[in-house]
Structure 1
């Protein structure tokens, strides 16, 4: 079997998401949310879509196809445990979470980096991951309509190749030849919860129940490798809805103002 490059894996994952949304007849809903967000509409009743049977099934299928579905959270459960349930049972289980949502603690692990250091990764329980995916699927088209055209990382229909193509245009048309490589130190660990919620509100997401759920996600206790439990007052775990290796890092996208895209 041929080994896929990271870019090929990313494209394959995006193609699978599109097929899944078509299979569960959610593509039209997502397209409508995108179009309405482009027109600066506000959204006050998103939970009706988030809690829909089709959206929950799509979230379950997406998480199941992810390689991380075999990794357990603090409750030791994986997708294999949920696979024992019927569709009706797991839909009912996820819907029940939304009625009075309180996420389980997030398990933190340290992932080695090429430079010999480590980076923290938060692993929610498998049920919390599906809840987050339900929300992500509905937030994504709304936020995508607002994000900068010059942003390519971890976004639908965008990749390293599209970023390179944009760079080539800047070189050829605007004669820009310098590249600045930078990262914001400790970005995910220092995000203001209040500012993040305000920015989500500014994007037109005004469903108060949804905003309350996101607040609960941000405040989820974190279990450290030594067993100690901490209660975050700022920051988001890398691995959850607001920042993960397989989903758009929404915290960074939302905090970074789109008007910066024309700054050079």
Structure 2
């Protein structure tokens, strides 16, 4: 993807990216990342280990469904986990392993395209970035003489 982005595509226009998503090499790479994270099974009760037992068949079937346009994601398994330091619980949606593989394959294709356009000092949900990077940036700005900060919880504001 990065080579195509750097060197361009014929005619300078992208017509389709789905063929990159359903490439079996991409799906296998995505599975490797899903397996490394582990995680609970989704509504189909399929574990990462169970998916791996028939990896060749599962990847081939996913590629075919994506190629033919018949792939449909499964429902999300909803569980509730405690919020740290509170009595409230936070909803957590757990996709199936199969859906996580497809989501990762889509991310492999889309992320390089959009990542290069995002603001350099945006840290949320970015590869290789996190809250510690944001804190380092705040520290840098404070050392450079900045004294004002705005903190907004838009979700809390919207619900009032």
Provide the TM-score with structure 1 as the length reference.
Answer: 0.51
> Aligned to 1:182, which of 147, 152, 157?
152
Q: CA deviation at 1:109?
A: 1.3
User: In 1, are the aligned partners of 2:80 and 2:89 still within 8 Å (CA)?
Assistant: yes
Corresponding residue of 1:82: 51
User: In 2, are the aligned partners of 1:33 and 1:141 still within 8 Å (CA)?
Assistant: no
Q: How many angstroms apart in 1 are the aligned matches of 2:129 and 2:6? A: 19
Q: How many angstroms apart in 2 are the aligned matches of 1:137 and 1:66? A: 16
What SS does the corresponding residue of 1:108 show, helix, strand or coil?
strand
Gaps of 5+ in 1: 1-28, 187-264
Gaps of 5+ in 2: none
Task: Count residues in correspondence.
Answer: 150
RMSD: 2.3
Corresponding residue of 1:73: 42
> Aligned to 1:150, which of 105, 115, 121?
121
What SS does the corresponding residue of 2:50 show, helix, strand or coil?
helix
User: In 2, are the aligned partners of 1:49 and 1:55 still within 8 Å (CA)?
Assistant: yes
User: In 2, are the aligned partners of 1:33 and 1:142 still within 8 Å (CA)?
Assistant: no
Corresponding residue of 1:105: 75
Tell me which structure has the larger Cα radius of gyration: 2
> Aligned to 1:94, which of 62, 65, 79?
62
Provide the TM-score with structure 2 as the length reference.
Answer: 0.81
Q: CA deviation at 1:135?
A: 0.5
Q: Which runs of 4+ in 1 moved over 6 A?
A: none
